[in-house]
């Protein structure tokens, strides 16, 4: 019966392992404020996860080098503990639990994507840990009555609302025929709900309403239908892969559609990867470098763009910019709260009313940012094939005029 | 026999004390229990019966959705709960939460078992690779289909009812830990009891030579179906608890998570040694500890490290940990080995 002994040894080894691996860090150690974040470093959201992480790091370095956070007459520096959530909600929830109960983190930064934020929010809420998130836009996050969740971005249903309204306006106020294809995930489905609302209000008709699988890499069936039915607007949303797939296959299949509205164009580096093929795509964005917002840390959008490019070697998509803004919000709240008491910090966060390079930030009851509109940009290329994203709506910030309708492939 | 009782008592005490001794690890411990349940139930097919199924994830996911749906649906309109962008907030009272969860778990166990019976009747006729591929498809299909059903949240996912405000902050973790531990004990004892009957011998006969077993007058189909129903019953329970524990159900990433949970349950059983009672338990524990360790120490490389572990298992422990021990110390497993026999074997090698 030696096998039983082995098992007993094993169980005790397990016990020792568990007890020695408890490393408890307090939220504030010495002059460090330690924030926790579960980020998608691997899996289907890995590219956006990295944008998020770079945005956080950029802001941490900047705030620290410019004097840190002053709370109660003492100066503190930011530090972040990262874990990889593997783009999986189950893991994200587990990691949030781990950050809070094992690492002792008392303030959290959000993950990438609505789905993962949905998985983490119940945990932070349970422990009363304030979380400022920059990448969970699904409207359903803000209707659950969460008290400790704050999002610096505009909710997902507003993403392409402007595009539909613009199309209707260009159509002489008459409703348009919309074809849409969305990935089956929390964010894209919420963008879809926004389109449904806009369509209802403008009297537009939805003629194709497809759901696409996650890890989107083929939507030829949808595009074949689009070719046959000739809608006025084609809407596609499916994170970075969705944007890349759509452009690739639209170009391959030479699909002619007067307006192509999408999300995640800049995160997917569309203009760089697909060049002239991505021309005329209309993209929803939380931020664009040409917007005229200002703050003391990053000066303005153009400076942020230049600094970020210097540091990380690519132009910042809005996912990075909003992530940086989350840190600015935390800094502001800590200083106004004058304490590290979670309740006080939470109340300070709720009272946030500030401008950052990324936009104005003011939270509604549900935690969403209500003071920052979405912008639409269009990919525009010159004759040499160099492409750029130019803001076309709202008019206040427009740096170029919307090109509509998109020229036919035979004329391009 | 005495030693056995001491061992079981020790494990039971450890299990009950664990969340208080390691309060920070409650979630990991709960997940460990779930993983062990999945490994044990997979072993019924993969180990004892020789049917490598990738389809058990179907029952796990089904249990998860059913438990959450019942828990919500008993008290509130389910469609409004899961409606994307729904403005209404429903709050379960503690009594509603626990009643709903209990009924939900019962449904999460029974329905998957029935489904296993129905599906099993049609596909357990397949053998070998054909069966494996077919069951692989089951999980994938279930994930895609459930991602399109509006009433369970479709692509938006399903937020399970938040734990009511009872007791301390730790109450939620303790509740789910004890649920999963209780189900683990139940599963282990049930499977152990089953393995001590003729039923196990029949399963082994099917594994060793199904045609011969049939020729001996065993109704193999009947046994295969019953075996699968038993697995489905416990997988469903595990899924139901996991749904509540995670708090958010996504069709392909949490519920019908074939490429993670679905593969892990196979790996764990093989690592521990398939076709043994303790193998899956040991395999799941070792696997979970390694996984958590890699996760902490090899951030970004955890899957590479896990891959190396799998390669090592396949090369050095093809029969799993239990199989390796058995080969090395056969006497301790109650096997009588003739000294001359062993010598002959060594010479052969």
User: What does the angle CA B305 – CA B307 – CA B312 come to, to the nearest 5 degrees?
Assistant: 95
Each residue of B230-263: pLDDT tens digit?
Answer: 999 999 999 999 999 998 898 888 999 888 899 8
- Taking the C-alpha atoms of residue B233 and residue B188, their distance in angstroms, rounded to an integer, is 13
CA B67 to chain centre: 16
DSSP class of A369 = B
Confidence of residue A23 (pLDDT cuts 50, 70, 90): very low
Return the number of other C-beta atoms located less than 10 Å from residue A30's C-beta. 7
DSSP class of A363 = B
Length of chain B: 349
Lowest mean pLDDT among A204-213, A229-238, A381-390, B202-211: A381-390
Residue A60 has pLDDT above 90, yes or no: yes
- Taking the C-alpha atoms of residue A198 and residue A201, their distance in angstroms, rounded to an integer, is 5
CA A152 to chain centre: 10
CA-wise closest residue to B84 among A147, A5, A157: A157
A60 burial level (CB within 10 Å; 0-12, 13-18, 19+): buried
Q: Does A214 touch chain B (CB under 8 A)?
A: yes
> Could you give the C-alpha distances from A362 to A297, B5, B119, in angstroms and in order?
19, 62, 54
Q: Where are the alpha helices (DSSP H) in A108-238?
A: 114-127, 161-170, 186-202, 220-229
Task: Provide the shortest C-alpha distance from residue A166 to chain B (in Å).
Answer: 24
Task: Enumerate residues 312 to 341 of chain B having a beta carbon within 8 A of any beta carbon in chain A.
Answer: 325, 329, 332-333
Task: Provide the shortest C-alpha distance from residue A203 to chain B (in Å).
Answer: 21
**Mean pLDDT of all residues belonging to chain A:** 89
ipTM over 0.85: no
Percent of chain A predicted with pLDDT > 70: 93
- Taking the C-alpha atoms of residue B164 and residue B93, their distance in angstroms, rounded to an integer, is 6
Each residue of A176-206: pLDDT tens digit?
Answer: 999 999 998 888 988 998 999 999 999 999 9
Q: Does B87 touch chain A (CB under 8 A)?
A: yes
CB pairs under 8 A between A and B: 156
> Could you give the C-alpha distances from B318 to A20, A66, B322, B325, B334, in angstroms and in order?
31, 57, 10, 12, 21
List domains and CATH numbers for chain A. 28-154+291-362 (3.40.50.2300), 158-285+382-411 (3.40.50.2300)
Suggest the residue from B253, B288, B296 to mutate for an interface test with chain A (most A CBs closer than 10 A). B253
Provide the β-strand partners of residue A81.
A36
**CA torsion A269→A368→A324→B295, rounded to 10°?**
-80
- Per DSSP, the residues of B42-75 read HHIIIIII----STHHHHHHHHHHHHHHHHHHTT
> Phi/psi at A82 (nearest 5 deg)?
-105, 145
**If residue A136 lies in a helix (H) or strand (E), which one and from where to where?**
none
Residues B85, A140: C-beta atoms closer than 8 Å = yes
What is the reported pLDDT for A19? 45
Residues B156, A6: C-beta atoms closer than 8 Å = no
> Could you give the C-alpha distances from B85 to A114, A137, B243, in angstroms and in order?
12, 11, 21
Mean pLDDT of A336-357: 94
Task: Enumerate residues 334 to 393 of chain A having a beta carbon within 8 A of any beta carbon in chain B.
Answer: none
Q: How far separated are the first and last CA of chain B, in Å rounded?
A: 37
* Average pLDDT by stretches of 10, chain B with 349 residues: 83 92 89 96 94 94 96 90 69 92 97 96 91 92 89 85 83 93 96 94 94 93 95 96 91 88 90 90 92 79 82 84 85 73 66
Give the closest of B26, B159, B285 to A118, CB-based.
B159
Residues from chain A contacting residue B159 (CB–CB below 8 Å): 118, 122, 140, 144
Give the closest of A82, A102, A119 to B246, CB-based.
A119
Q: Collect all residues with Cβ–Cβ distance below 8 Å to A375 and sequence separation of at least 6.
A: A284, A285, A286, A287, A288, A291, A391, A393, A394, A397
**A261 in Cβ contact with A160 (< 8 Å):** yes
User: What does the angle CA B303 – CA B309 – CA B311 come to, to the nearest 5 degrees?
Assistant: 105
Give the closest of A98, A101, A119 to B248, CB-based.
A119
Helix axes B279-297, B302-316, angle to 10 degrees: 150
Confidence of residue A369 (pLDDT cuts 50, 70, 90): very high
What is the reported pLDDT for A21? 45
CA-wise closest residue to A10 among B269, B321, B282, B270: B282
- Taking the C-alpha atoms of residue B349 and residue B343, their distance in angstroms, rounded to an integer, is 10
CA-wise closest residue to A122 among B68, B260, B60: B68
Q: How far separated are the first and last CA of chain A, in Å rounded?
A: 80
Each residue of A259-278: pLDDT tens digit?
Answer: 999 999 888 888 888 888 89
- Taking the C-alpha atoms of residue A320 and residue A331, their distance in angstroms, rounded to an integer, is 17
**CA torsion A109→A111→A114→A117, rounded to 10°?**
-60
- Per DSSP, the residues of B79-119 read HHHH-TT--------HHHHHHHHHHHHHHHHHHHHHHHHHH
CA-wise closest residue to B14 among B6, B283, B78: B6
Residues B155, A188: C-beta atoms closer than 8 Å = yes
């Amino acid at each position: 019966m030696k096998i039983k002994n082995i098992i007993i040894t094993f169980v005790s080894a397990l016990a020792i392992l568990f007890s020695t691996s408890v490393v408890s860090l307090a939220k504030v150690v010495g002059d460090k404020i330690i924030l926790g974040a579960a980020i998608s470093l691997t899996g289907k959201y890995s590219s956006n996860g990295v944008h998020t992480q770079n945005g956080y790091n950029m802001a941490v370095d900047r705030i620290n080098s410019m004097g840190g956070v002053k709370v109660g007459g003492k100066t503190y520096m930011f530090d972040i503990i990262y874990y990889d959530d593997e783009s999986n909600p189950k893991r994200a929830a587990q990691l949030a639990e781990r950050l809070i109960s094992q690492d002792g983190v008392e303030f959290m930064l959000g993950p990438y994507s609505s789905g993962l934020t949905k998985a983490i929010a119940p945990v932070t809420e349970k422990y009363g840990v304030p979380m400022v998130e920059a990448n969970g836009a699904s409207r359903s996050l803000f209707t659950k009555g969460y008290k400790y969740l704050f999002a610096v971005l505009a909710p997902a249903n507003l993403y392409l609302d402007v595009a539909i309204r613009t199309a209707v306006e260009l159509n002489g106020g008459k409703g348009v025929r919309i074809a849409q294809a969305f990935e089956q995930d929390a964010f894209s489905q919420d963008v879809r709900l926004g389109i449904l609302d806009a369509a209802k209000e403008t009297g537009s008709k939805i003629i194709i309403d497809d759901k696409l699988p996650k890890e989107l890499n083929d939507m030829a069936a949808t595009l074949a239908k689009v070719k046959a039915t000739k809608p006025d607007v084609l809407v596609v949303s499916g994170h970075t892969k969705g944007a890349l797939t759509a452009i690739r296959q639209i170009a391959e299949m030479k699909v002619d559609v007067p307006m192509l509205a999408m999300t995640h164009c800049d995160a997917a580096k569309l203009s760089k990867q697909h060049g002239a093929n991505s021309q005329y795509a209309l993209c929803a964005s939380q931020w664009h470098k040409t917007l005229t917002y200002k703050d003391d840390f990053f000066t303005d959008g153009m400076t942020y763009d230049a600094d970020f490019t210097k540091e990380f070697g690519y132009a910042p998509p809005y996912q990075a910019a909003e992530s940086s803004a989350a840190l600015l919000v935390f800094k502001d709240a800590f200083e106004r709260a004058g304490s590290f008491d979670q309740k006080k910090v939470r109340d300070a966060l709720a009272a946030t009313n500030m401008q950052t390079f990324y936009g104005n930030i003011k939270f509604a009851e549900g935690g969403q940012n209500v003071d920052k509109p979405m912008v639409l940009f269009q990919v525009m290329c010159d004759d040499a094939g160099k492409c750029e994203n130019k803001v076309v709506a709202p008019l206040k910030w427009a740096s170029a005029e919307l090109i509509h309708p998109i020229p036919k492939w035979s004329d391009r | 026999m005495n030693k056995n009782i001491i061992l079981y008592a020790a494990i039971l005490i450890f299990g009950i004390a664990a969340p208080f001794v390691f309060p920070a690890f409650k979630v990991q411990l709960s997940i460990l229990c779930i993983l062990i349940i999945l490994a044990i139930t997979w072993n019924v097919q993969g180990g004892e019966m020789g049917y490598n199924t990738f389809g058990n994830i179907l029952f796990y996911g089904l249990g998860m959705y059913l438990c959450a749906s019942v828990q919500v649906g008993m008290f509130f309109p389910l469609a409004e709960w899961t409606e994307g962008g729904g403005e209404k907030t429903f709050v379960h009272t503690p009594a509603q939460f626990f009643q709903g969860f209990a009924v939900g778990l019962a449904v999460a166990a029974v329905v998957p078992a029935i489904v296993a019976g129905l599906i099993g009747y049609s596909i357990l006729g397949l053998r070998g690779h054909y069966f494996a591929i077919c069951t692989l498809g089951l999980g994938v299909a279930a994930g895609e289909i459930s991602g399109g059903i509006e009433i369970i949240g479709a692509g938006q996912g399903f937020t399970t009812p938040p734990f009511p405000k009872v007791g301390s902050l730790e109450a939620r973790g303790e509740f789910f830990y004890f649920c999963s531990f209780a189900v683990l004990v139940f599963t282990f004892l049930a499977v152990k009891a089953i393995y001590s009957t003729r039923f196990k011998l029949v399963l082994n006969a099917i594994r060793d030579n199904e045609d011969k077993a049939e020729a001996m007058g065993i109704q193999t189909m009947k046994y295969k179906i019953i075996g699968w129903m038993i697995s489905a019953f416990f997988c469903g329970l595990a899924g139901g608890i996991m749904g509540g524990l995670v708090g958010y159900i996504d069709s392909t990433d949490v519920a019908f998570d074939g490429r993670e949970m679905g593969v892990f349950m196979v790996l764990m059983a093989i690592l521990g040694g398939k076709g043994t009672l303790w193998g899956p338990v040991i395999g799941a524990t070792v696997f979970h500890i390694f996984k958590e360790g890699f996760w902490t120490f090899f951030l970004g490389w955890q899957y590479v490290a896990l891959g190396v572990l799998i390669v090592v298992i396949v090369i050095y422990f093809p029969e799993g940990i239990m199989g390796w021990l058995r080969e090395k110390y056969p006497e301790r497993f109650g096997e009588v080995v003739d000294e001359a026999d062993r010598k002959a074997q060594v010479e052969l090698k």
